[in-house]
């Protein structure tokens, strides 16, 4: 058997040293067993030489009685030896299994992620290999080999003429055993590697069985499985062929030895140099001598596997564990986390994933990391939790290096919800209480209530005792995620870290989670990675990462408008009407209505005095178009749509809101004006949007100057285009080609403009501040339009417009490439809120 690496097998000595007295007992029993084994050849010698030749019946009876007693002792000794070997193996199995499990859970996360799951599972199979080797036939063989010399000495004593045959055959057996060692070791490694590859594919197929079924991936996975299985079978056949070859060589050597000894012994009997009994006894003793050597060849695969298992376990025990005892004893920390010039890479030859990042997260509040996929968000939060150790820099918890604390202490202070929530087989209560095995029912219910899952749990058939199945597969993704949040809240941790906590939540649950986190942030430090606009509005601080570096960082009131491409408007922007600002402005922004900023006025009534260009009361607010060569967006209300003609009536229904397209048209005079002539009926072919085109002229008896109403602001610089639908067209811009005709969704009630807004006579004031812009943005992100209501889908901005808007809002020099609003801040229904705008020209 090849020698094991001393450095890799030294770990086994502490487990074997306490068992040395037991091993001494096993060796003593093996000695007596092998001595008793000599009784059978001696019995044959006496029968052939004395009983047969002299007809000694009494001698034969005595020999038989003696052999029965000896065989009884032999049976008892063999049974005792087997029991002791099994006890030794089980004790080593228990101790090694416990230590390898402790070693596994004490390894850093980066080390655990450096190997596949089946490589770690193989370590526990290696423990089984050690146990089986120490308790099976291999252990008995090891105990019997040292006593082979005793059989060779007895052969020399009773049959010296045939002893030289064994002297020649024994070196041949040793050479075969030595040659088989290297060949079988390589074959075992190849078979083990192919078996692990096949098992990895099986595990992936089992984990993704729903995807395989849904997409019929078995057509692609089948050939892969067949190739890996065929490779494993080929390696197994190659290993079996080598094993059979060396076993057959050993069997052939055994038969050659027997034939040679018998032939030489016959010649010695003829020359009267040896008796017949001595020849029979020599053949029996040669079998006892060559038997262990022949078994050594056949058991070489077991010894090779044992050696490889011991070396792999030694490599695992040599890995560096996390800190087991803390150097600094702190009470409950406040929750301040500081990263100082942190640099981290997953491998020395790879580029840094986190490159010189420095952030300060004050106690309390909600701190959110945002950025593109692969920008290092999940990595930075694992560094802040102490799961990863940076190559340079450090992470401080309340001023102390986080590397000084044990994993148990950090897990008590920090609750973590990973991006891929993993539950375990068992009940709901067990999964919530896994973080604190001694948690009481009150603590479990408190955590579930804080996570918003208490009512869901009590609605289950067995409540908190409901079995959720393997990995929680009996629950939906959102339910598993909420239970994982409850698990993180058990024990009231100081810091709560969440990685995409709303990825599997619906809109209602997302708003509930936002309220929960806002409440928790009063007494906890909440660190989160999310792309959800709902959760972003709850942030106190935002950190935007780009390619492992901090691109933007600061209070959310300053960072959030930049992320959405909405910088505060310039100071020159005149103040809007206070009444129309609450309804019409939001409708105009949500519908992306773009009107020309200036154009010659065209008042419908005398005097034809030229007035400054301003928005009419109730009209949508003009938004500046991005300075790009792309065509200007067309208002949704101005798109030509064929609508059914309304029922003919003498007047419009009062509860119906005025259509957005009709807002630029002057409304009829109020009741205080003199009565006007009746309006002629509208033809059926003219849609409602075109009704203002055929409005009647004002009554001649009542000139416009005599109207007792406040002076109206001039209409916007737009003209009415005759056609099936009234649409706004710039005087200097040709109308774009009409889009495809289709039904127009009716706006939601909350977004419909209220008819008849009264104009404001307040003087223009300065533009809104950044706080006003942030408050407006938060209101848009958290207003009720997140609920699944029927509303028109606004036209998403083009990528060029979004890029221009982001650049306009971000004044730094960092090469930040934030994701577009369509993929970063979309609600999942194709609607982007809020609509990115750009700065207006003064």
Q: What is the tens place of the pLDDT at every residue in 217-253?
A: 878 888 888 888 899 899 989 888 888 888 888 888 8
Beta bridge partners of 545: 371, 550
Residue 120 has pLDDT above 70, yes or no: yes
What does the pLDDT read at residue 540? Answer: 92
Contact of 544 with 371, CB cutoff 8 Å: yes
Give the C-alpha separation, 409 to 622, whole Å. 57
Read off the tokens for 748: 């939601």
Do strands 366-371 and 541-546 pair parallel, antiparallel, or not at all (unpaired)? parallel
Give the C-alpha separation, 733 to 729, whole Å. 7
Which residues, including other chains, have CB under 8 Å from residue 240's CB and lie 6 or more apart? none
110 to 388, 555, 712: CA distances (angstroms): 6, 32, 70
Residue 4 has pLDDT above 50, yes or no: yes
Of the given ranges (183-187, 503-507, 733-737), which has the lowest mean pLDDT? 733-737
Q: 669 exposed, middle or buried (CB, 10 Å; 0-12, 13-18, 19+)?
A: middle
What does the pLDDT read at residue 771? Answer: 58
Contact of 745 with 791, CB cutoff 8 Å: yes
Residue 179 has pLDDT above 60, yes or no: yes
Higher pLDDT, 812 or 312: 312
Higher pLDDT, 80 or 774: 80
Structure confidence at residue 793 as a pLDDT band (50, 70, 90): very low
730 to 435, 648, 727: CA distances (angstroms): 65, 32, 10
Q: Which residue has the tokens 């490159």?
A: 355
CA 595 to chain centre: 47
Residue 218: cis peptide before it, omega within 30 degrees of 0:
no
Residue 298 φ then ψ, to 5° = -70, -30
Residue 313 has pLDDT above 80, yes or no: yes
Region 258-263: what's the mean pLDDT? 89
Read off the tokens for 275: 């008796």
Give the C-alpha separation, 541 to 557, whole Å. 8
pLDDT digits (tens, 9 = 90+) for 631-678: 444 443 444 444 445 444 444 444 444 443 444 444 444 444 444 444
The region that residue 309 occupies, defined by phi over 0 for left and psi between -120 and 50 for alpha, beta otherwise, is alpha
Helix (H, G, I), strand (E, B) or coil at 688: helix
Q: Can you state the angle between helices 137-144 and 57-106, rounded to 10 degrees?
A: 120
Give the C-alpha separation, 692 to 661, whole Å. 10
Q: Which residue has the tokens 């308790």?
A: 135
Beta bridge partners of 734: none
Give the C-alpha separation, 87 to 200, whole Å. 34
Contact of 315 with 8, CB cutoff 8 Å: yes
Residue 741 has pLDDT above 80, yes or no: no
What does the pLDDT read at residue 791? Answer: 41
Region 822-826: what's the mean pLDDT? 38
| % of the chain residues with pLDDT over 90 | 10
What does the pLDDT read at residue 763? Answer: 41
Region 190-216: what's the mean pLDDT? 83
What does the pLDDT read at residue 629? Answer: 47
Give the count of beta carbons closer than 10 Å to the beta carbon of residue 580. 25
For 490-556, the DSSP string reads TT--SEEEEESTTTT--HHHHHHHHHHHHHHTTTSEEEEE---HHHHTT-SEEEEEETTEEEEEEEH
Helix (H, G, I), strand (E, B) or coil at 497: strand
pLDDT digits (tens, 9 = 90+) for 460-471: 888 899 888 888
Give the count of beta carbons closer than 10 Å to the beta carbon of residue 796. 18
Predicted TM-score of the model (pTM) = 0.59
Contact of 56 with 50, CB cutoff 8 Å: yes
Higher pLDDT, 227 or 736: 227
Helix (H, G, I), strand (E, B) or coil at 364: coil
What does the pLDDT read at residue 561? Answer: 82
Which residues, including other chains, have CB under 8 Å from residue 399's CB and lie 6 or more apart? 336, 338
Region 131-157: what's the mean pLDDT? 83
Of the given ranges (204-218, 413-427, 476-490, 544-558), which has the lowest mean pLDDT? 204-218
Give the C-alpha separation, 250 to 180, whole Å. 11
Contact of 481 with 421, CB cutoff 8 Å: yes
Give the C-alpha separation, 722 to 213, whole Å. 58
What does the pLDDT read at residue 775? Answer: 61
Read off the tokens for 256: 């050659």
Beta bridge partners of 357: 342
Higher pLDDT, 563 or 252: 252
């Amino acid at each position: 058997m090849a020698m094991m690496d001393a450095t890799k097998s030294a770990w086994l000595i502490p487990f074997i040293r306490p068992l040395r007295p037991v091993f001494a007992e096993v060796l003593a029993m093996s000695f007596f067993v092998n001595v008793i084994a000599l009784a059978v050849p001696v019995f044959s010698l006496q029968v052939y030489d004395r009983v047969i030749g002299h007809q000694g019946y009494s001698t034969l009876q005595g020999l038989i009685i003696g052999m029965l007693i000896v065989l009884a002792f032999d049976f008892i000794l063999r049974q005792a030896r087997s029991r002791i070997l099994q006890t030794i193996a089980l004790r080593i199995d228990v101790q090694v299994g416990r230590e390898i499990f402790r070693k596994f859970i004490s390894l850093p996360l980066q080390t655990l992620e450096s190997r596949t799951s089946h490589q770690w599972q193989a370590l526990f199979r290696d423990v089984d290999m050690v146990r089986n080797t120490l308790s099976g036939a291999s252990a008995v063989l090891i105990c019997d080999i040292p006593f082979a010399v005793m059989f060779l000495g007895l052969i020399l004593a009773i049959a010296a003429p045939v002893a030289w045959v064994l002297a020649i055959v024994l070196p041949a057996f040793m050479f075969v055993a030595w040659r088989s060692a290297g060949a079988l070791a390589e074959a075992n490694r190849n078979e083990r590697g192919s078996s692990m590859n096949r098992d990895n594919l099986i595990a992936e197929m089992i984990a993704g069985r729903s995807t395989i079924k849904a997409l019929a991936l078995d057509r692609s996975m089948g050939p892969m499985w067949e190739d890996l299985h065929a490779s494993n079978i080929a390696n197994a056949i190659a290993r079996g062929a080598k094993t059979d070859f060396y076993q057959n060589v050993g069997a052939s050597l055994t038969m050659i030895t027997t034939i040679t000894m018998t032939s030489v012994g016959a010649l010695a009997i003829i020359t009267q140099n040896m008796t017949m009994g001595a020849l029979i006894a020599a053949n029996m003793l040669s079998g006892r001598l060559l038997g262990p050597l022949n078994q050594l060849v056949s058991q070489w695969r077991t010894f090779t596997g044992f050696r490889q298992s011991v070396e792999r376990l030694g490599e695992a025990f040599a890995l560096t564990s996390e800190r087991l005892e803390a150097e600094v004893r702190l009470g409950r920390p406040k929750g301040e986390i500081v990263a100082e010039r942190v640099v981290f890479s997953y491998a020395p030859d790879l580029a840094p994933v986190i490159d010189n990042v420095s952030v300060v997260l004050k106690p309390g509040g909600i701190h959110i990391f945002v950025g593109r996929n692969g920008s290092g968000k999940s990595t930075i939060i694992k560094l802040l939790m102490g799961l990863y150790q940076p190559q340079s820099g450090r992470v401080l918890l309340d001023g102390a290096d986080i590397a000084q604390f044990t994993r148990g202490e950090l897990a008590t202070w920090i609750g973590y919800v990973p991006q891929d929530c993993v539950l375990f087989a068992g009940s709901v209560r067990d999964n919530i209480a896994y973080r604190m095995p001694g948690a009481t029912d009150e603590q479990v219910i408190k955590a579930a209530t804080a996570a918003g899952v208490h009512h869901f749990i009590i609605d289950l058939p067995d409540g908190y005792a409901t079995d959720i199945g393997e990995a929680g597969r009996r629950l939906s993704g959102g339910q598993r995620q909420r239970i994982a949040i409850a698990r993180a809240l058990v024990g009231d941790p100081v810091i709560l870290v969440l990685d995409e906590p709303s990825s599997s939540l619906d809109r209602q649950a997302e708003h509930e989670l936002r309220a929960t986190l806002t409440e928790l942030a009063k007494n906890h430090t909440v660190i989160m990675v999310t792309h959800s606009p709902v959760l972003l509005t709850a942030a106190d601080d935002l950190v935007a990462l780009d390619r492992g570096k901090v691109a933007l960082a600061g209070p959310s009131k300053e960072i959030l408008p930049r992320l959405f491409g909405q910088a505060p408007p310039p100071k020159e922007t005149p103040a809007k009407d206070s009444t129309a600002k609450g309804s019409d402005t939001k409708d105009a922004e949500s519908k992306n209505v773009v009107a020309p900023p200036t154009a010659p006025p065209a008042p419908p009534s005398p005097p034809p005095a030229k007035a400054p260009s301003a928005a009419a009361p109730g009209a949508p607010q003009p938004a500046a178009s991005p300075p790009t060569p792309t065509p200007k967006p067309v208002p949704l209300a101005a798109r030509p749509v064929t609508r059914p003609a309304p029922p003919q009536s003498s007047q419009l229904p009062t509860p119906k809101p005025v259509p957005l397209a009709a807002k630029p048209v002057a409304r009829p005079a109020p009741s205080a004006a003199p009565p006007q002539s009746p309006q002629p009926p509208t033809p059926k072919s003219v849609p409602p949007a075109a009704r203002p085109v055929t409005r009647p002229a004002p009554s001649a008896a009542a000139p416009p100057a005599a109207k007792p109403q406040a002076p109206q602001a001039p209409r916007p610089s737009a003209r009415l285009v005759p056609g099936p639908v009234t649409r706004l067209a710039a005087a200097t811009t040709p109308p774009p080609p009409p889009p495809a005709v289709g039904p127009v969704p009716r706006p939601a009630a909350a977004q419909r403009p209220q008819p008849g807004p009264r104009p404001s006579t307040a003087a223009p004031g300065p533009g809104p501040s950044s706080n006003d812009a942030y408050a407006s943005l938060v209101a848009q992100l958290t207003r009720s339009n997140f609920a699944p209501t029927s509303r028109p889908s606004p036209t998403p901005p083009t990528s060029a417009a979004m890029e221009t808007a982001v650049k306009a809002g971000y004044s730094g020099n960092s090469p930040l490439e934030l994701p577009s609003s369509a993929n970063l801040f979309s609600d999942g229904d194709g609607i982007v809120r809020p609509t990115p705008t750009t700065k207006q020209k003064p």
